[in-house]
Structure formats: structure tokens, C-alpha cells
Structure 1
């Protein structure tokens, strides 16, 4: 194999030379039993990817309750992953089993563009979902206000596809025209920059490293915010309990502690279930305050109500933090091996990385598209209810009202 032309843009006098392709002679290395087993596993992966993501799309279309801001991002992710299973994997199966591309150069270009576009869009959508969850936890009031602005949601969804397209597609389309020829032999299908390590390194920074760091940052920031609010809630409830335990003065006038309680309760800035702070709910203009009716019982009731609301909000945010922790782990596991081996293989012209290892990481990347529909939407009660309605409508209909109400989830 002549590697002189593969370290950068190929030149005219050498790009007509045949180089070892990533799938050359793969087919003959497999026995018939292995070929059948691989074919079954790959077809099964494609079917799971199509079914899982198709179910998410269908649930979004038939259930109007799912059509709010955060779920639009799940829809965007499902579309990219669905096309991976419906278009990218099926065309690659005969290629990997036979070691020969049989669909022609034009379809090869289209397949490469779609494959790189969908995988990159999937990664960017994960970042978008994580950012949306980050804002919903750390800036709940602002999130509620902006949730009804559909244009912002659509703009973010479109921007994911635009950035994903610009990262790889122009290079896939015009690389050979800029170089003057193609290094890809007949019967093969891979990108012209397959061995251009510096381009792959730059692309991987935007495709994997920045998204992974961003998702990790969002997750850690949510965790810190929850811990901080939990400590504030504990201090506030202890303070309220101490104040409400002291009765009014014997002359019927409220004690100094009662005035402090009335002053303290509106100042609590605890986010409730609907995203509004308790200060916006309980604050009363100073000129209309009347503390003469304040009693220990009413103070205890208000304190208990605050505890319930803030505990519910914190529990919901903890669930969001856990789901994002899973996102970070699964995304890193599926993407890190491929991104690192891709750069390493290109730098050493394919001589320092076993081809089967690279092939495993390649399929691990596609596995992420199969896992996503079960990893994200199935963690949400509304999606589970929508799936039950589609897959088991009769069973859902016979559930008692108490069981159906348990499937409800606040927006």
C-alpha cells in the first residue's frame, strides 16, 4: 500500500493508485456461519433502530400532550436516528459482508453524506436536549416564559441540521474536485479524507469532544444547583419551624416573631412545581398586611405546603439530573472509541489499528442511535403513556383511574 498520498489532499499523479480500503477482503475472512450470524445481528440492529425511533415519532404525531418544547428536541433526535436505521445501516450490510460496494458512485456519495449528517445531528441533538434540561432546572421561571415561543424551538432544531451538514457534507462532496481526482477505488465507498488525520481531528472536536464536554458541564451544573437549593430549603424550613412555634403576645397583638415570620415567608425564593417561585405567589404589599390573624396553625400549614412543593420540584430535578448522567455515560461510551481510533488510524495510515477494532467502534456509534429512543423518551412518563396507548390500547383502557393518573407528569 502506498501511503505517500494519503497523509493529506491526494495529488493527481498518485491518487489513481489503489490503496487498501477499510472493507477490502473482509468478506472472504468470514466463514459462512459467521456471515449469517453477522447478517442477523446487523439486520436486528437496523430493525430495533427503526422501530424504536419510529415509535417516538408516531407517539409525537398522535399525542398532542407531547407537543411542547422539550419533546420537539426528542422528535429531532428520533428523526436522525430513524434515518440511520432505515437508510445507513441497510446499505452498509452488503458492503461489510461482501467487501464490495455494489450501488455505484452516486449512491455512495449520498450514503456517505446521509450517514455523517445523521450521526452528527444525533450528537448535536443530545447536546440540545441536555441544554434544554439544564435551563429548565437552573432557570425555571425563564424556561416557562419562553416555552410557548415556538420560533425559538424551531430555530434551534434547524440549526442542529445546518451545523451537522456543514461539518462533513461539503468535504465529502467537493474534496475530490479540489484535489483533482479521487483516491477511492471502484467497488469501494469511503470518504476522500479517510486518512487525513488533521481534518478528522478538527471535525472530531466539534462532533464529539465539545458535545461531550458540554453535556457533562450541564449535568454537573444541574447537580450543583440541586444541592444548593436542597441546602437552602432545609435552612428555610428549619427557620420557619422555629418562628411558627412561638405564640402571639397575650394582649392579642402579634409578637415580634410573628412579624418576622410574615416577613420571612415571602422572601423565600423556592421554585415550585410550575416553575414559579414561592415569593411571587405569597408576597403581599406591605400596606395591606394584617398579622393579627396569624396563628401557629396557619404558619404550620404554610410551612408544610412549601415543603411539599419544593420537595416535588427537587425530586423532579433529581430525575432530570440522573437521566443526564446516563446521557453523558452512554454518549461517551458509544462515541469515544470511534473518535479516538478514527484519528489514530488516519495518523498512522491504518497500520497501527486493527481493522476489526475500528469496525467495532463504527457499529458502536450506530448502536447509540438504537439506544436513544429507549434511553430518553422512555424515561418520561408521558412518552411511556403514549407508547402504551399505541402498543396496548385495550390494556390502557381497562386500567383504573388511579393507575392512569399515576402515569401523568407535569409539563
Structure 2
């Protein structure tokens, strides 16, 4: 997370660059407590998201376009624990970066890329659900196009890297100054408020607006369909959508029922399919709303504070407040693996299958 790169002020007489140059050194007692808590956080995040990733390997039923985008988010969360927090623990405890400048740049690059990829993954998940509601036929056709799905996932990582990666890696060449001095490890643009605000626009504000737009449209469409259903009417547009959906849902209807019901009421199948599709969309929208809500609650405090801190050069946000917002972000990476089985029946089945194989392996 980007928040790992925010540092304590060193004093009113220090330069802006120096304000970010030192990680706050804790007392021995607090250092031990933080080490234990951070290590526990790493374990929870790594194990939780490893289970999600293994579930995709074990259960082929999970390998749909929508679930692959959830997998992408899970990979981001896994790297948060395995790389970002793990490499941050010794730096936090000792107050010194002791493994070289190159690893410092690599850590910062991965850290910022993960942050942006998490936001873009949530956008992709929201867009995919938007297509499912508004363009069901197109969304259905995309389910088997794994190459296009993989391309979308790769594109998320490429765009995420481009937001911060070149600046982190090439800052010394671009500015002609070296910001990695002594035992510190931080991004050179932290004291450039205009860069921070611009990058925050790309990695949080625009994703926030996009996610809000997609989820609002989904909500309004479901309300519209629910209202029509309650009034017992099917508009022409709804009928057209139902006809498009029929080739993919008609297989679930017993053939004898189809032959007997259709001559009596040609529109009964369309009505039932519409009803089933609406019910599925409601469940999916509810699951998405939970995931997005948790994301907003965990990420907004830090993003808001980071923008304010950038404008006032770190003087209007104390170190403790920043630390609190960091823990919110880490908590999000630990919560997401719990949300998947809670919100998605397919994940519950996959986790059950994974547990059965795990028990069978160790019992035998």
C-alpha cells in the first residue's frame, strides 16, 4: 500500500524532503507488539487469499469470467501480505532500511502497483456485473473467452504499473537528484503535491467515480425491473431481453414442462426466465455492494488523508492518523477472502471441496 511510504515529520525546521525521510522509531515494547500484530496480519492475509487461489486450481466450476476478476483482486491482496507488509515489518521496527537501494525501489514499485491494481480490479468487477445486468447476451458470450478475460486482467496490472512505476524507478534520472539517502526508503515524489494529487486522481478518484456509476446503474435497473414485475407488466424491451436470454436459460427447464406450458401460454417461459434473471441479478448486485462498500470504508480514509497531507506538505495530518488509515487498508485485504464464500455460493462449494481434499490428503 502507498501508505507504507508515508513518514513522520522530523521537525519544523526540516525540509519537506526530510519530513518523509524517517520512519517513526517505536519503543521496544511497542515494537514487539507491532511485530506480533503485523505478523498476524500477514498470516491472515496470505492464508486467506491462498485458499481463494487454490480453490480456482481445484474447482474448475469457479473459472468463469466474473470469478477470474475476483481472483485478480485476491492476487493483489495476497501480495499485500506476502510483499508489502512483510518487507515493511523490519523497516517499521528498526526505523532503518538495510537491504539496499535496488530492493527499496522494487518494494516501492510493487507496493504502489498493488494499490492501483486493487482499485482497478474493483472497477473491472463492477463493470462485469454492469454488463451482466444490461447486456446479458454479450456477458454470457464472454464467459468462454478466457483469452480476453486474461487480457483484461493483464491490462489492469500494466495500467497500474504505469501510474507510479516509471516515477519510482526513474525519479533520479528525471529530477537529477537522489532521494534515497542513508537508511531511508521512500518514493521521491512524496513531497510533490501536484504529482501526488494527479496520481491519486488516477488510482482512486476516477476508480471511485467509475465504481459508483456502474453500481448506481445496476441498482436503478434492478429497481426498474422489480417495479415492472410487481405491476405484472412486461415491457417490449424486457421481452426482447428475455428472448435473448432464453437460449442460455431454457436448458434449465424440463422438456416436458416446456412442451406442455408453451402451447398454453407462449409468454410463460419468457416471464419465468425474466423472473429468474432478476433474482440472479439481485443476488449478484447485493454481493457486489458488500464488496464495494467494504472497499470504500477501508480505502477512503487513507486516500482522503493522503491528498490533504500532500497539499499541506505533511503538516496537517499527524503520524498516528496515517497509521490508523494504513491498518484499515490491510484489514480490507484480510476481509475479502471471507466475503467471497459469504457472498458467492460457488465459492462456498469450492472451499468445501478444497477442505475435503485437504483432509483426505492428511488422513491418508
Q: For this structure pair, what is the TM-score category when the shorter chain's length is used for normalisation?
A: 0.7 to 0.9
User: What are structure 1's unaligned runs of at least 5 residues?
Assistant: 7-17, 240-263, 282-293, 397-411
Q: Secondary structure at the match of 2:18?
A: coil
1:268 & 1:60 partners in 2: Cα distance? Answer: 36
User: Which residue number in structure 2 is paired with residue 271 of structure 1?
Assistant: 242
Q: Which residue of 2 aligns with 1:317?
A: 281
**Alignment RMSD (CA, Å):** 3.0
Q: Per-residue deviation at 1:4?
A: 8.8
- Please report how far the alpha carbon of residue 186 of structure 1 lies from its aligned counterpart in structure 2 after TM superposition: 1.1
Where do residues 199-218 of structure 1 align in structure 2 (5 Å cutoff)? 199-218=195-214
Q: Secondary structure at the match of 2:189?
A: coil
Aligned pair count? 340
**TM-score, structure 2 length as denominator?**
0.84
Q: Equivalents in 1 of 2:13, 2:123: separation in Å?
A: 37
Instruction: Flag the 1:267–1:324 CA change in 2: closer, same or farther, 3 A.
Output: closer
Give the SS at the match of 2:23.
Answer: coil
- Structure 2 gaps of 5+ residues are 1-10, 251-259
Helix, strand or coil: the match of 1:276? helix
- Which residue in the other structure is 2:114 paired with? 118
* Distance (Å, rounded) in 2 between the aligned partners of 1:394 and 1:211: 38
Question: Greater share of helix residues, 1 or 2?
Answer: 2
Which of the pair has more CA radius of gyration? 1
Relative to structure 1, is the Cα distance of residues 25 and 366 closer, same or farther in structure 2, using a 3 angstrom cutoff?
closer
Determine the C-alpha separation between the residues in 2 that align with 1:2 and 1:230. Answer: 60
Consecutive aligned runs of 4 or more in structure 1 exceeding 6 Å deviation: 2-5, 264-267, 294-297
**1:341 is aligned to 2:312:** no
SS for the counterpart of 2:184 is coil
Which whole-Å deviations, capped at 9, do the CAs of 1:268-309 have from their partners, x for residues lacking one? 33538xx7159x97xxxxxxxxxxxx999933x964x55543
Q: 1:265 to 1:221 in 2, by over 3 A?
A: closer
Kept after mapping to 2: 8 A contact 1:3/1:349? no
Structure 2 match to 1:24: 23
Question: Are 1:224 and 2:223 matched, yes or no?
Answer: no
- Give the Cα–Cα distance (whole angstroms) in 2 for the partners of residues 5 and 22 of structure 1: 10
State TM-score, norm by structure 1.
Answer: 0.75
Match of 2:126 among 130, 135, 144: 130
Query: Secondary structure of the residue that 1:268 maps to in structure 2?
Result: helix
In terms of mean alpha carbon deviation, does 197-206 or 321-330 score higher? 321-330
Q: For residue 362 of structure 1, report the CA deviation from its aligned partner.
A: 2.3
Deviation at 1:2, TM superposition (A): 7.8
2:351 pairs with 1:351: no
Mapped pair 1:146 → 2:117 = no
2:264 aligned partner: 298
Structure 1 match to 2:255:
none
Equivalent residues in 2 for 1:62-81, closer than 5 Å: 62-81=58-77
Return closer, same or farther for 1:353/1:296 CA change in 2, 3 Å cut-off.
closer
**Structure 2: how far apart are the matches of 1:276 and 1:108?**
52
